């Protein structure tokens, strides 16, 4: 024990604002770090463009989820305050100020840096006015043949109420006047820019790009014959993405309830943001805000194209010199032989002797997770496969087709599909129905809890009896995102671990009330208390050490426990990608806590926990849980212990590289994230790519040498 007793609250830091950063503003800090990558001239040009598209998509989702919820709280006058003590109205005001500041940076970066830099590399954004007559005539023919038939102008007059405007749609507000009438009355019409057509249209030379809305605007008069077009201006709305699920459906049909909620969300959810071009006049803006029931603070005026996420299409240009060198994931060395033949039993032979850790995207998803399930589907000795699916990819998702094939082969296949994965609800319903049609037993988890854990279990008949094999990971079973999300997974045949997963699946699919497990930590039953105990243990130790890597840290209970550990003398190292509500480096509160953030070409997504010093022995866990109230109390999450020394060494490597000062952001006590760049070549992700290739090469050499 240290001389000073652990403190969970002191008079000096009693005010919530002194103890916690605001969650929403911390998320905006994260998106500003993404924007710093856009400004980084050492990054290849199209990668910078891609980061700007990511920034835009992130901000869209922030308004759909967080701003929409805060606006609802404000209107309901619930009096709910954030953990740092702010009311919904105070948070909305601070968000508005901060977002406008970020958008000023976006306008500068796009106009003054990216567009000129792209021009020097023969990628040009052009306006309709800059085009020659030949270009205009050709585009007019394209408009008449491919765009005009898709457009539907919707006017507003006594016979036509104000049209419904779908979320994130790009539109033109058009003001017209009837030439045959002398009253001079102006009429408003809305034209939706077709979302399925390319937003940036490539001209025949392949060098110049014209925005689709400009081409529509140049020909908008053809939509209003006999009328005079007085003005046209782009605008875009964002609606709250909350999903209300009515459980009063026949037989408690969750699929029907969510489908009903999705239809309701599309049609009735309120607008929480209006984006307009700077050219929009008050004549148009005022009725638009009135019809959408918005306040002045909900309107964001832009001097650059609306919806910059559309820039992501430019990344598909065949310009490798403007992108990062392509990285091809390698096969994890231990899996080289096991993954080679889909119909062999190499995975199971290997896992009976050792656990295996895979680190995506440095090590390939296809030759690890996918190959494991493909072998299970093909192996006649496999009796059952049990699997959780939170987010999936498109119609070519090999994991889903593998489960279908296993079911068709007579194996018992259970898939827990989380229908409430935000923005993926409709896709998951479609997958669930496809799986059911193939004979897979599809279940939807525990009422009132999202199932967010990443687990797979294979049950196999062997000569000496039934044996189980498992995979536990930090990321979704999504072959597409596995190529760009940094995640960790562990394969094991440990009897206790596999028995735990069997009981977890029984809890998820049946009526059990399982609360205690042998090895895994499960939210909401045991995960929070187990983590609190681990932190408390390090607070009491003379050489206490805590290292945690997560996407988000916002749970006040966990934060207070980390403060107490710091005050008691423990060192706390935190790798946090996005939200961090903890104040590090505050004397008397958190001076032994340091926070780092790593951003790069891959999305840092793994959750890793390490407790204890090297001298006393360390305890390691990986899993699906971030340190947020929703993860610890409102979701089914799983952390699994990691015991194998070789696997632990890999996790130590992740911490060491992430916490190094080579290229990362450091959070200070005032909430400022400062980028420290001592050696860009030593960036954690660059080093991990190199290490993965070196391990693969060494494994290939060993394979050549033979046993």
* Greater pLDDT, 438 or 6: 438
* Predicted pLDDT at 521: 97
Q: Count of residues for the chain?
A: 707
Separation between Cα atoms, residue 555 and residue 192, nearest integer Å: 42
pLDDT value, residue 8: 43
Q: Position of tokens 């946090």?
A: 576
Domain limit, last residue, from 466, 481, 515: 515
Among the three residues 58, 86, 102, which one is the final residue of a domain in this structure?
Answer: 102
Of 423, 432, 421, 476, nearest to 454 by C-alpha is 476
Which residues, including other chains, have CB under 8 Å from residue 458's CB and lie 6 or more apart?
348, 372, 373, 376, 382, 384, 385, 468, 469, 470
| Shared-domain flag, residues 349 and 417 | yes
Indicate whether 263 belongs to any domain: no
CATH number at residue 63: 1.20.58.310
Query: What average pLDDT does this structure show over 320-345?
Result: 87
Residues 461 and 602 in one domain: no
Query: Does position 557 have pLDDT exceeding 60, yes or no?
Result: yes
Q: Which of 59-73, 236-250, 438-452 has the highest mean pLDDT?
A: 59-73
Q: Which residues contact 121 (CB under 8 A, 6 or more apart)?
A: 45, 319, 322
456 has a pLDDT exceeding 50: yes
pLDDT band for position 623 (50/70/90)?
A: very high
Q: Is residue 593 part of a domain?
A: yes
pLDDT in tens, 565-604: 999 999 999 999 999 999 999 999 999 999 999 999 999 9
Tell me what pLDDT residue 259 has.
Answer: 58
Does 110 map to a domain?
Answer: no
What does the alpha-carbon distance between residue 244 and residue 580 come to, in Å, rounded to a whole number?
Answer: 28
Q: Are 306 and 235 within 8 A, CB to CB?
A: yes
Say whether pLDDT at 135 is over 60: yes
Residues 290, 204 within the same domain:
yes
Residue 329 is predicted with a pLDDT of 97
User: Is 1's pLDDT higher than 50?
Assistant: no
Percentage of the chain surpassing pLDDT 70?
91
Q: What are phi and psi of 291, to 5 degrees?
A: -65, -35
* Residues 467, 617 contacting (CB under 8 angstroms): no
Question: CB neighbours of 165 closer than 8 A, spacing ≥ 6?
Answer: 171, 190, 192, 237, 271, 292
Residue 77's pLDDT is: 82
What is the CATH number for 208?
Answer: 3.30.1840.10
One domain, residues 371 and 441: yes
Answer whether residue 305 shows pLDDT above 60: yes
420 with 480, same domain: the answer is: yes
Q: Can you tell me the mean pLDDT for 415-444?
A: 77
pLDDT digits (tens, 9 = 90+) for 603-620: 999 999 999 999 999 999
Of the pLDDT bands very low, low, confident and very high (cuts 50, 70, 90), residue 250 is very low
| 254 located within any domain | no
Mapped onto helix, strand or coil, the DSSP state of residue 629 is helix
| pLDDT over 90 at 475, yes or no | yes
Q: Rounded mean pLDDT of the chain? A: 90
> Over 60: is that where the pLDDT of 261 sits?
no
Q: Is it the case that residue 280 has pLDDT exceeding 90?
A: yes
361 and 440 inside one domain: yes
Q: Are residues 49 and 136 in the same domain?
A: no
Q: Are residues 484 and 632 in the same domain?
A: no
452 assigned to active site? yes
Give the pLDDT score at 79.
77
- Residue with the larger pLDDT of the pair 160 and 304: 304
Residues spanned by the domain of 393: 333-515
What is the pLDDT, as a whole number, of residue 27?
98
Structural domain total, the chain: 4
Q: What's the pTM value of the predicted model, to 2 decimals? A: 0.92
Q: Assess whether 594 and 525 both reside in one domain.
A: yes
Question: And the tokens for 83?
Answer: 């953990």
The CATH code of the domain that includes 527 is 3.30.870.10
The answer to whether the CB of 548 falls within 8 A of the CB of 609 is yes
Instruction: Mark whether 33 and 136 lie in a shared domain.
Output: no
Question: In percent, how much of the chain has pLDDT > 90?
Answer: 74
What was the pLDDT predicted at 10?
46
pLDDT greater than 80 at residue 447: no
Q: Of 648, 677, 642, nearest to 662 (Cα)?
A: 677
Give mean pLDDT, residues 435-442. 84
Kindly state whether residue 10 falls inside one of the protein's structural domains. Answer: no
What is the pLDDT at residue 515?
74
Residue 210 has a pLDDT of: 97
Same structural domain for residues 623 and 533? yes
Give Dmax over CA atoms of the chain in angstroms.
94
Judge whether 548 and 623 are in contact, CB under 8 Å: no
pLDDT above 50 for 105: yes
DSSP 706: -
Confidence of residue 338 (pLDDT cuts 50, 70, 90): confident
Asked if residue 355 is part of any domain, the answer here is yes
Looking at 65, 86, 102, the residue that finishes a domain is: 102
* 11 within domain boundaries: no
How does pLDDT run across 642-690, given as a tens digit for each residue? 999 999 999 999 999 999 988 899 999 999 999 998 888 889 999 999 9
501 vs 508 pLDDT, higher one: 501
Average pLDDT over residues 406-417: 91
Give the mean model confidence (pLDDT) for residues 83-95. Answer: 95
Q: Which residue has the tokens 């494991």?
A: 372
pLDDT of 267 reads: 56
- Which one from 360, 387, 452, 683 is the annotated catalytic residue? 452
pLDDT band with cut points at 50, 70 and 90 for residue 251: very low
User: Is 92 found in the same domain as 208?
Assistant: no
Whether 374 is in a domain gets the answer yes
Kind plus residue range of the DSSP H or E element containing 23: helix 23-38
């Amino acid at each position: 024990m240290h001389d000073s007793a652990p403190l969970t609250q002191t008079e000096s830091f009693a005010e919530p604002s002194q103890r916690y950063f605001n969650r929403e503003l911390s998320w905006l800090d994260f998106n500003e770090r993404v924007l710093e990558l856009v400004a980084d001239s050492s990054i290849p040009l199209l990668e910078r463009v891609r980061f700007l598209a990511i920034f835009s998509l992130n901000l869209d989702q922030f308004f759909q989820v967080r701003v929409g919820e805060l606006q609802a709280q404000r209107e309901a006058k619930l009096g709910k305050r954030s953990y740092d003590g702010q009311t919904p109205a105070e948070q909305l005001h601070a968000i508005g100020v901060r977002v406008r500041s970020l958008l000023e940076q976006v306008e500068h970066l796009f106009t003054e840096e990216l567009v000129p830099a792209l021009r020097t590399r023969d990628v040009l954004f052009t306006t309709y006015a800059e085009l020659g007559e030949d270009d205009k005539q050709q585009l007019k023919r394209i408009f008449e043949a491919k765009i005009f038939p898709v457009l539907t102008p919707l006017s507003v007059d006594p016979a036509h109420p104000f049209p419904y405007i779908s979320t994130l749609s790009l539109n033109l507000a058009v003001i017209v006047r009837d030439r045959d009438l002398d009253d001079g009355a102006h009429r408003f019409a809305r034209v939706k820019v077709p979302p399925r057509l390319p937003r940036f249209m490539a001209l025949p030379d392949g060098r110049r790009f014209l925005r689709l809305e400009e081409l529509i605007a140049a020909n908008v008069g053809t939509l209003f014959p006999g009328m005079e077009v007085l003005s046209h201006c782009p605008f875009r709305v964002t609606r709250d993405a909350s999903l209300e699920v009515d459980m009063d459906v026949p037989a408690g049909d969750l699929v029907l309830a969510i489908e009903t909620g999705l239809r309701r969300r599309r049609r009735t959810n309120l607008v929480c943001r209006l984006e307009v071009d700077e050219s929009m006049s008050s004549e148009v803006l005022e009725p638009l805000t009135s019809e959408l029931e918005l306040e002045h603070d909900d309107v964001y005026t832009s001097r650059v194209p609306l919806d910059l996420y559309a820039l992501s299409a430019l990344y598909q240009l065949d310009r490798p010199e403007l992108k990062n060198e392509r990285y091809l994931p390698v096969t994890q060395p231990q899996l080289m032989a096991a993954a080679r033949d889909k119909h062999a039993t190499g995975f199971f032979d290997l896992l009976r002797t050792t656990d295996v850790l895979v680190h995506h995207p440095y090590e390939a998803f296809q030759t690890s997770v996918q190959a494991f399930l493909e072998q299970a589907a093909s192996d006649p000795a496999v009796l059952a496969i049990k699997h959780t699916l939170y987010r999936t990819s498109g119609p070519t998702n090999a994991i889903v087709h593998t489960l279908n094939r296993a079911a068709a082969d007579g194996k018992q296949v259970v898939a827990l599909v989380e229908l409430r994965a935000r923005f993926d609800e409709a896709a998951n319903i479609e997958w669930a129905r496809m799986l059911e049609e193939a004979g897979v037993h599809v279940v939807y988890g525990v009422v009132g809890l999202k199932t967010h854990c990443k687990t797979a279990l294979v049950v196999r008949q062997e000569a000496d009896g039934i044996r189980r094999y498992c995979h536990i990971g930090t990321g979704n079973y999504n072959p597409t995102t596995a190529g760009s999300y940094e995640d960790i997974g562990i394969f094991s045949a440990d009897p206790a671990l596999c028995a735990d997963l069997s009981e977890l699946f029984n809890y998820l699919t049946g009526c059990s009330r399982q609360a205690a497990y042998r090895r895994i930590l499960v939210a909401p039953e045991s995960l929070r208390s187990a983590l609190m105990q681990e932190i408390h243990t390090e607070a009491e130790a003379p050489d206490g050490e805590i290292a945690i890597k997560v996407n988000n840290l916002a749970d006040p209970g966990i934060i207070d426990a980390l403060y107490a550990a710091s005050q008691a003398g423990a060192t706390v190292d935190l790798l946090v990608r996005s939200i961090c509500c903890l104040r590090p480096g505050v004397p008397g509160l958190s001076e032994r806590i340091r926070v780092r953030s790593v951003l790069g070409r891959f999305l840092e997504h793994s959750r890793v926990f390490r407790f204890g010093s090297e001298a006393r022995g360390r305890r390691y866990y990986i899993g699906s849980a971030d340190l947020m109230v929703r993860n610890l109390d409102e979701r089914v999450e799983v952390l699994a212990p990691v015991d194998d020394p070789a696997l632990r060494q890999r996790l130590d490597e992740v911490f060491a590289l992430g916490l190094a000062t080579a290229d990362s952001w450091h959070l200070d006590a005032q909430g400022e994230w400062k980028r420290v760049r001592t050696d860009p070549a030593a960036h954690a992700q660059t080093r991990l790519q190199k290490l993965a290739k070196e391990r693969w090469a060494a494994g290939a050499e060993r394979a050549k040498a033979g046993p």
